[in-house]
């Protein structure tokens, strides 16, 4: 025990003026200790008395328990947010037991914060008993939702296990309930526990406290740090910090080991709605502990805040998420059932195998020697018979290697026959494939793989090397047989050759249900950290059927896929597929000749390329020979999507494929085909728009009419540039694009708050909509009178000036029509509501360095073309784009750069 732990000091109220903390919530409560007969005084933050003054009856109590070395100050934001909700309820007259009103009791554990220093040693069992004594003294009745962080999570869960009759739910922020046997405790704690270090690091000096405060992202403001330091200014106030660290159960001999084991076991039996909010950058409580908690509480909703760490309550606005979750789960909280997502109606839905699973063509053509797919470098043609046999062998072998239905398998394999075979083998046995391409960049790929928590990683040598270097989780399987020293160094247990031999008898398990999760596909990361998009088998089958129906792709179709998802769907469609010779992480490496050679290899009638790849194909078309030209002349359907495709680029591609109908579908990772338009359709839409009177057309990119069974609605923007009200199909209304289709994604992976914003529950239902799933895209646009959709930009890029709301794409198109302008981006700087417009241009020829044009002739032309009051016009050599598509302009980065430039920062490249 640290030296000063035995010193005593009375409880007290915190000093006035701590930032973000309302003195009305502070109170002292004296509690009798049933074991010793003595009493101890606690400091609490409690909004109960304020709720009484407001005349508001809460639906229940949030019991918040801090960890080490924080105090109830950690929960000040939640107390304030809950009280604001109560104030609103009182003002609107809905204060009588409102589901949105909660009492919040945030404790300072004894020996911590401003609670009493009793001089008593408090192990985990004693701390759980202390909390129970306090809630008895408060006469706390249910429903109670516990909220815990760090070691406060363990204490709160101990209370939850012991008070199941009061418990309605659980909220946890970065904590741990069990230490895996094969893992050491986190290194910062190991270091602190070293002989001679504990007392110096935790009590004699504020080192442990200061180290914890330094874990915030971004760094805490000085006054907030002082708020956390307030109760721990001297060594005699820090004894509890050292005692808490000393109480970490490092082995079975530790006094708190049995209590931790009891709590960990009891958690499995709770079954109440649960929410886990996690900061993945935490060096103490990593995703390993989140995985353990998720296994113990499978009913839990999870939201990982990328970029956040151990001080998650300071890193992000967590309080609205907690209160939003309580509101969304109000039905199940009040009834004491499982989470809404776990109700029997969902458990009973679609629990049967698909009539036409994704591998159905592989089964139908298992005897065919026709070509199924082609690898271009090195050249390799694979028949349907060989591909089908390989898939069955790998599927059987993976089962014998320990891959189970529901296991996640991260695929770090370049587009190839190996990738295709492994993907369909995983799907066949009910494993969940995780696909995050290298175009995310190493940091983005690392975040994606770690966040997806794979049980197995199958990769080529480069991917496995990175996986080892960054300690990615999962059993490792290599595509090629590696030398033994290399395999041992990389932690590789099997090669695909060995897996195929294990499954030589092709003995397969029962196929997965249509409702089972099939894949987690990661978004491009062009609008924030890449998100894992969850698809069920039924939804992927619907994607396949939508593509087949819209573009007449089926058995015998030759498909050139310069975009990985289409290459992987080739066998499901029955198409001969090929990925052209290119660096898939850099679409601009694709040349016209490589495209033509790929088309010739599969006698292609369909070609799909991203806009960035397409631009370079057009730029390198002079290298085409007669055979190349003939191969491209055989193409009947040409597709380009992933970012807006200029009409001129689509037309130029059409000249390279003179017998093809150029299409540009609109979609996203969450739904690959939502609308579609041809080159002819784009021109017709432009003519219709030009015929409208001035001011009646908002501009944008026309992406056509809904495809198949897709439905499109618009949630109109209000004066603050935010969508509000019921989405409609009314033409001419600019707002957020909202979609419904059978092939929409299931959810985002471990992003509960994002799901709540994007999914059906957040879209007001119209008559007849019951049972439909809707998705808020984050894109902004409008429908025209012909039912065509026009995209005007992204919701985060909407600019709100003093004159009104402006979407960027329409003005950008007008600027790009000017002679000498290659590309343009419109950015807003300054406070929302009074933002100033800045136009940033790429010119032809390209500028050698960034320049501010001021009142130059080009700036005047820009202002005239747009009819807008543009504060500044800047020229750059190249606009910043996303990594994966190399074509989507990063307007957020551009706004930050432009604001810096106009504030006097050095004029450098964005």
Cis peptide before 143 (omega within 30 of 0): yes
Say whether domain 798-902 belongs to CATH 1.10.10.10.
no
Class of domain 360-538: alpha beta
Please calculate the CA angle 893-817-661 and round it to the nearest 5 degrees.
Answer: 95
pLDDT surpasses 80 at 849 = no
Give the N- to C-terminal CA distance of the chain in Å, as an integer. 54
Q: Using pLDDT thresholds of 50, 70 and 90, give the confidence band for residue 336.
A: very low
Q: Using pLDDT thresholds of 50, 70 and 90, give the confidence band for residue 349.
A: very low
The pLDDT assigned to 345 comes to 32
Average pLDDT over residues 883-897: 67
Give the lowest-confidence range in 275-289, 627-641, 775-789, 891-905: 891-905
Tokens of 6: 């035995």
Measured CA to CA, the distance from residue 83 to residue 662 in angstroms comes to 57
**484: CB partners within 8 A, 6+ apart:** none
Q: Give 194 or 684, the one with higher predicted confidence.
A: 684
At 385, which helix (H) or strand (E)? Answer: helix 384-400
pLDDT surpasses 70 at 725 = yes
Measured CA to CA, the distance from residue 579 to residue 397 in angstroms comes to 27
The pLDDT assigned to 465 comes to 93
Q: Do domains 24-183+263-342 and 360-538 have the same CATH topology?
A: yes
- Name the residue ranges covered by the structural domains of the chain: 24-183+263-342, 360-538, 673-743+758-795, 798-902
Please calculate the CA angle 624-625-629 and round it to the nearest 5 degrees.
Answer: 75
Tokens of 275: 């929410």
Tracing tokens 């006469």 back to the chain, one arrives at: 139
Q: What's the CATH number for 673-743+758-795?
A: 2.30.38.10
At 521, which helix (H) or strand (E)? Answer: strand 517-522
Tracing tokens 């595509």 back to the chain, one arrives at: 479
Helix (H, G, I), strand (E, B) or coil at 10: coil
Give the lowest-confidence range in 26-35, 458-467, 844-853: 844-853
The pLDDT assigned to 884 comes to 45
**402: CB partners within 8 A, 6+ apart:** 456, 475
Q: What's the CATH number for 24-183+263-342?
A: 3.40.50.1820
Average pLDDT over residues 407-431: 94
Measured CA to CA, the distance from residue 95 to residue 78 in angstroms comes to 19
The pLDDT assigned to 385 comes to 98
**103: CB partners within 8 A, 6+ apart:** 46, 47, 48, 51, 58, 60, 61, 62, 82
The Cα-based distances of 462 to 354, 409, 480 in angstroms read 36, 17, 11
Give the lowest-confidence range in 75-89, 143-157, 584-598: 584-598
Q: Using pLDDT thresholds of 50, 70 and 90, give the confidence band for residue 430.
A: very high
pLDDT surpasses 50 at 196 = yes
Highest mean pLDDT among 521-535, 854-868, 893-907: 854-868
The Cα-based distances of 239 to 41, 106, 113, 455, 471 in angstroms read 17, 21, 11, 41, 36
The pLDDT assigned to 179 comes to 72
Bridge partners of 146, per DSSP, are: 63, 170
Task: Of 338, 336, 7, give the one whose Cα is nearest residue 144.
Answer: 336
């Amino acid at each position: 025990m640290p030296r000063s732990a035995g010193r005593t000091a009375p409880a007290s109220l915190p000093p006035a003026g701590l930032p973000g903390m309302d003195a009305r919530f502070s109170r002292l409560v004296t509690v009798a200790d049933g074991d010793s007969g003595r009493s101890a005084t606690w400091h609490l933050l409690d909004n109960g008395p304020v709720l009484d003054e407001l005349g508001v009856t809460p639906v229940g109590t949030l019991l918040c328990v801090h960890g080490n070395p924080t105090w109830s100050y950690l929960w000040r934001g939640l107390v304030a947010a809950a009280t604001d909700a109560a104030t609103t309820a009182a003002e609107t007259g809905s204060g009588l037991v409102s589901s949105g009103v909660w009492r919040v009791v945030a404790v300072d554990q004894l020996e911590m914060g401003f609670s009493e220093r009793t001089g008593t040693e408090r192990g985990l069992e004693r701390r759980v008993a202390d909390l129970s004594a306090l809630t008895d003294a408060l006469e706390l009745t249910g429903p109670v939702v516990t909220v815990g962080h760090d070691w406060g999570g363990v204490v709160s869960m101990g209370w939850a296990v012991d008070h199941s009759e009061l418990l309605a739910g659980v909220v946890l922020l970065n904590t741990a309930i069990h230490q895996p046997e094969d893992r050491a405790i986190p290194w910062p704690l190991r270091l602190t526990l070293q002989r001679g270090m504990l007392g110096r690091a935790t009590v004699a000096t504020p080192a442990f406290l200061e180290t914890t405060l330094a874990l915030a992202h971004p760094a805490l403001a000085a006054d907030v740090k002082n708020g956390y330091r307030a109760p721990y200014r001297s060594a005699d106030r820090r004894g509890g910090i050292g005692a808490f660290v000393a109480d970490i159960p490092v082995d079975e001999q530790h006094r708190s080991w049995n209590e931790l084991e009891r709590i960990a076991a009891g958690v499995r039996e709770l079954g109440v709605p649960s929410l886990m909010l996690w900061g993945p950058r935490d060096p103490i409580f990593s995703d390993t502990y989140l995985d353990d908690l998720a296994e113990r509480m499978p009913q839990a909703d999870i939201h990982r805040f990328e970029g956040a760490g151990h001080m998650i309550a300071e890193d992000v606005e967590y309080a609205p998420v907690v209160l939003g979750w309580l509101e969304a789960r109000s039905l199940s909280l009040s009834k004491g059932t499982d989470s809404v997502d776990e109700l029997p109606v969902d458990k009973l839905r679609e629990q049967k195998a698909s009539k036409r699973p994704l591998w159905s063509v592989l089964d139908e053509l298992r005897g065919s020697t026709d070509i199924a797919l082609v690898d271009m470098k090195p050249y390799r043609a694979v028949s349907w018979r060989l591909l089908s046999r390989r898939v069955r062998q790998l599927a059987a072998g993976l089962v014998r290697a320990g891959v189970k239905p529901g296991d996640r398998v991260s695929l770090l394999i370049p587009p190839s026959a190996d990738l295709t075979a492994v993907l369909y083998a995983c799907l066949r046995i009910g494993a969940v494939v995780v696909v995050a391409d290298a175009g995310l960049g190493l940091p983005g790929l690392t975040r994606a793989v770690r966040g997806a928590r794979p049980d197995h990683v199958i990769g080529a040598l480069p991917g496995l090397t990175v996986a080892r270097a960054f300690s990615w989780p999962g059993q490792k399987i290599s595509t090629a047989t590696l030398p033994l020293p290399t395999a041992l160094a990389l932690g590789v247990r099997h090669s695909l050759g060995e897996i195929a031999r294990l499954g030589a008898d092709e003995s397969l398990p029962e196929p997965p249900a249509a409702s089972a999760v099939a894949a987690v596909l990661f978004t491009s990361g062009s609008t924030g950290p890449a998100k894992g998009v969850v698809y069920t088998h039924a939804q992927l089958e619907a994607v396949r059927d939508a593509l087949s129906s819209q573009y007449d792709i089926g058995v015998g179709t030759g498909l050139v896929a310069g975009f990985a998802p289409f290459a992987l769907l080739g066998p499901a469609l029955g198409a001969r597929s090929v990925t052209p010779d290119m660096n898939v992480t850099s679409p601009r490496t694709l040349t016209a000749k490589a495209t033509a050679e790929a088309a010739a290899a599969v006698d292609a009638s369909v070609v799909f390329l991203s806009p960035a790849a397409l631009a370079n194909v057009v730029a390198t078309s002079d290298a085409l020979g007669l055979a190349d030209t003939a191969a491209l002349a055989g193409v009947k359907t040409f597709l380009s999507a992933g970012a807006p495709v200029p009409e001129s680029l689509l037309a130029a591609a059409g000249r390279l494929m003179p017998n093809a109908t150029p299409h540009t579908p609109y979609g996203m990772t969450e739904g690959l085909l939502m609308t579609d338009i041809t080159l002819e359709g784009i021109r017709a839409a432009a003519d219709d728009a030009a015929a409208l009177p001035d001011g009646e057309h908002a501009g944008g990119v026309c992406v056509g009419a809904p495809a198949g069974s897709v439905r499109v609605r618009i949630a109109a923007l209000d004066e603050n540039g935010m969508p509000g009200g019921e989405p409609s199909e009314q033409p001419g209304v600019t707002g957020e694009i909202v979609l419904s289709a059978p092939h929409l994604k299931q959810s985002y992976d471990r992003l509960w708050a994002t799901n709540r914003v994007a999914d059906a529950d957040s879209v007001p239902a119209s008559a007849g909509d019951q049972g439909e799933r809707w998705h808020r895209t984050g894109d902004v646009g409008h429908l025209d009178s012909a039912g065509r959709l026009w995209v005007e930009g992204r919701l985060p890029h909407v600019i709100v000036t003093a004159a009104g709301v402006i979407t960027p794409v329409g003005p950008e198109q007008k600027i790009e029509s000017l002679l000498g302008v290659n590309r343009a981006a419109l950015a807003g700087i300054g406070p929302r509501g009074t933002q100033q417009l800045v136009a940033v241009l790429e010119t032809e020829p390209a500028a050698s360095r960034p320049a501010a044009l001021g009142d130059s002739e080009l700036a005047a032309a820009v202002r005239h073309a747009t009819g807008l009051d543009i504060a500044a016009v800047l020229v750059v050599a190249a606009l910043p784009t996303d990594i994966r598509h190399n074509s989507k302009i990063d307007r957020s980065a551009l706004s930050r750069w432009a604001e810096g430039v106009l504030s006097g920062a050095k004029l450098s490249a964005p």
